[in-house]
Amino acid sequence: MIGTLDVVVLDCPDTQALARFYAELIGGEIVQDDPDWAEVLPPGATGRPLLAFQLVDDYRAPEWPGQLVPQQIHLDVKVDDLDAGEQAVLAIGAAATGSVTETFRVYLDPAGHPFCLVAPND
């Protein structure tokens, strides 16, 4: 092993808004909330890994499924119930993409990053 996961960083136009979105999505705690950089500590983490959000002035959202502006990062979020998970993420500002299977559904966060809700592996 060369190292361990420390921080996953997403570029965005509004660090504080995206930190709030992901804190609500995964139940995390916002541990730094600045206009240029924000961090969310996931539940159960003891300091690391963090999910961080970095301000990019001329931010361009990825296009999914197209690649004109490539998908720059992708998170899978495991949920117990895909229908309940979908209602919850839509309520906090996610957008549905219409990409749905029996085991996952693809959404866009408020800055346009794709992420999936995934069913637990049985």
CATH code for the domain in which residue 105 is found: 3.10.180.10
62-114 pLDDT per residue, tens:
988 888 888 777 788 989 999 999 999 999 999 999 999 999 999 999 999 88
Instruction: Look up tokens 């979908």; give the residue.
Output: 86
Do both 66 and 76 map to the same domain? yes
Domain that holds residue 39: 1-59
How many domains would you assign to the chain?
Answer: 2
d(CA 18, CA 111): 7
Do both 44 and 71 map to the same domain? no
20-59 pLDDT per residue, tens:
999 999 999 999 999 999 999 999 988 888 999 999 999 9
- Where is the domain boundary, 41, 59, 77? 59
Do both 35 and 79 map to the same domain? no
pLDDT band of residue 122 (cuts 50, 70, 90) is low
Do both 103 and 118 map to the same domain? yes
Is 77 in contact with 94 (CB distance < 8 Å)?
Answer: no
Do both 67 and 43 map to the same domain? no
Which pTM was predicted? 0.81
d(CA 57, CA 68): 19
- Where is the domain boundary, 43, 59, 75? 59
